[in-house]
Amino acid sequence: MVRRSTRVGDLLQKEVSHIVLQELKDPRIGFVTVTGVSVSDDLRHAKVFVSVMGDSEEVKRTVEGLKSATGYIQACIGRRVKLRYTPEITFRLDESVSHGAHIEQLLRDVKRERLTESGEGE
């Protein structure tokens, strides 16, 4: 049986993604993907995990933009999602996507080195 907090998290992920991609006009916010939402059992707090593409400065600006838009996003959620209490949203940077891309690049480099050492890359 799926817990209610999980179902609410899935719904919040969909709604927050839509709001960030379609409604926010903040120029600081770059390419953002909402990777997940963790909702407390009492449904009062929600951690929204986001992945941001770009260099460290773009990531920093995007996270600042999201944090400043938190009130607007919560208000939109309150109007759209019928819950007794609108969860307090906090944004967290999800580094798993960039970490995975880094590991993939390291594996490609190792493969290229092995091909070069064996003479197959020439």
- What is the domain partition of the chain in residue ranges? 4-94
pLDDT tens digit sequence for 37-85: 999 989 899 999 998 888 889 989 999 999 999 999 999 998 988 888 8
Between residues 119 and 2, the one the model is more confident about? 119
Whole-prediction pTM = 0.75
Q: Tokens representing 52? A: 């941001």
CATH of 4-94 among 3.20.20.70, 3.30.300.20, 3.40.50.970, 3.30.1490.20: 3.30.300.20
Give the separation between CA 46 and CA 12, rounded to whole angstroms: 9
Helix/strand/coil percentages in the chain, nearest 5? 55, 20, 25
